[in-house]
Amino acid sequence: YDEENIKNFLLSLEGRNISAQTRNMFLNAIKFYYCGVLNIVSKIEIRCAKKNKSLPVILSREELKEIIGSITNQKHKLMIALAYGAGLRVSEVINLRVGDIDIRELTIHIKKSKGRKDRLSVFPERLIADIQKFLSGKESDDFIFINGHGGGLTARSAQKIFDHALAKSGIMKKATFHSLRHSFATHLLENGVDIRYVQELLGHNNIRTTQRYTQVTNPGLKKIKSPF
């Protein structure tokens, strides 16, 4: 057992641009081998690498109009618009049921989401007429967005719908379905909504998770021009 060799190995991985997550997997395997299999040492005092914290990909309002406008399927268009307009995760939007929408109060009841918690989010007023078409004739427990067989959509299907719309719009950002939620939070903060309300709408336990959006909404930074 040579701790210095282990550190050098991990540094070599970092030099090859191997992600922090993968490097930590290697380190945990090494720890298990030396401590659990060979029983040479009881503990290896090497800390795991910190995960890289990249800024979320944000779509501008104009880009969102382009993406949503590129969708011809009305069900798909509504799903993408609602995910952005309410800040929903892909798992939340595909699991929405008719009874979760309160058009009168303009709210969405998101049930047993991440962390098995319920929360309320806002329902976009401009989508009332569109959503009513999909709610008509359905029971309270029916999925709003269904596949060709009458069941709920899968997360993979929803992501493919977004990917297709993104490609069709010609926008080159490396956005994903989750970028809709990122954009929702960012645009609320840009509109002056208190960060604590944004935290509540997103269902974040820790406000630090919400605070990362302030890094991409800094109006002072955006006003600075390059001296070049």
What's 199's domain CATH number?
Answer: 1.10.443.10
Mean pLDDT, residues 79-108 taken together: 95
Residue 85, pLDDT score? 97
Beta strands in 88-213 (DSSP E): 101-102, 107-110, 119-122
Provide the token pair at 131.
């959503």
Residue 179 lies in a domain: yes
Asked if 34 and 111 sit in the same domain, the reply is no
**Residue 85 falls within a domain, yes or no?**
yes
Same domain, 76 and 24: no
Q: Which residue has the higher pLDDT, 23 or 171?
A: 171
Q: Is the pLDDT of residue 53 over 80?
A: no
Distance of CA 121 to the CA centre of its chain: 15
| Average pLDDT rounded to a whole number, residues 32-49 | 84
Tokens encoding 92 = 């939340």
| pLDDT reading at 204 higher than 80 | yes
Residue 219 has pLDDT above 70, yes or no: no
Average pLDDT of the segment spanning 41-53: 78
Just list the catalytic residues: 89, 114, 178, 181, 204, 213
* pLDDT of 107 strictly over 70: yes
Q: Are residues 8 and 115 in the same domain?
A: no
In a domain, 104, yes or no: yes
Kindly state whether residues 145 and 99 are assigned to the same domain: yes
Answer whether residue 122 is part of any domain.
yes
Last residue of a domain, one of 15, 35, 52: 52
What distance in Å separates the CA atoms of residue 161 and residue 1, rounded to the nearest whole number? Answer: 51
98 in a structural domain: yes
For the chain, what percent of residues have pLDDT higher than 90? Answer: 56
Q: Which residue has the higher pLDDT, 16 or 219?
A: 16
Model confidence, pTM: 0.75
Residue 204 lies in a domain: yes
183: containing domain: 61-220
For residue 135, is pLDDT > 70? yes
More confident residue, 56 or 151: 56
User: Given this model, what pLDDT does residue 223 score?
Assistant: 67
Residue 78 sits in the same domain as residue 24: no
Q: Based on the domain organization, do 99 and 192 belong to the same domain?
A: yes
Domain total in the chain = 2
First to last CA, the chain: 53
Residue 225 falls within a domain, yes or no? no
